[in-house]
């Protein structure tokens, strides 16, 4: 994964979801799956070293590097898809 662009806004935004910058960086380096969301944003589904499942939303709209728009815990549906696609047998 490319380097993420960080600023005060996105760091404060992910903090509202109780997600840290370090967790986002860890997740991007784990076994991930990706999808495209509205506005052409990329969704990254992955796991932190401690096993927290996160959904990271990134955008390339205003810059070449990946700008973190949001990061939050995966929804139940996202967890199901993640486990199916990574072939991980975990209970939701």
Domain ranges of the chain: 4-86
The enclosing H or E element of 14 equals helix 8-16
For 23-80, the pLDDT digits (tens) are: 999 999 988 999 998 888 999 999 999 999 999 999 998 888 899 999 999 999 999 9
- Entry pTM: 0.88
DSSP 20-89: -HHHHHHHHTSS-EEEE-GGGPEEEEEE-TT--EEEEEEE-SSSSSEEEEEEEEPPHHHHHHHHHHHT--
Q: How far apart are CA 8 and CA 33, in angstroms?
A: 27
Q: How far apart are CA 41 and CA 59, in angstroms?
A: 5
């Amino acid at each position: 994964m490319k380097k993420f662009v960080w600023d005060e806004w996105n760091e404060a935004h992910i903090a509202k979801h109780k997600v840290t910058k370090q967790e986002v960086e860890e997740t991007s380096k784990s076994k991930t799956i990706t999808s495209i969301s509205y506005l052409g944003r990329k969704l990254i589904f992955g796991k932190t070293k401690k096993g927290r499942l996160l959904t990271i939303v990134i955008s390339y709209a205003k810059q070449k590097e990946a700008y973190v728009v949001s990061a939050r815990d995966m929804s139940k549906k996202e967890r199901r898809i993640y486990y199916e696609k990574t072939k991980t047998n975990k209970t939701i």
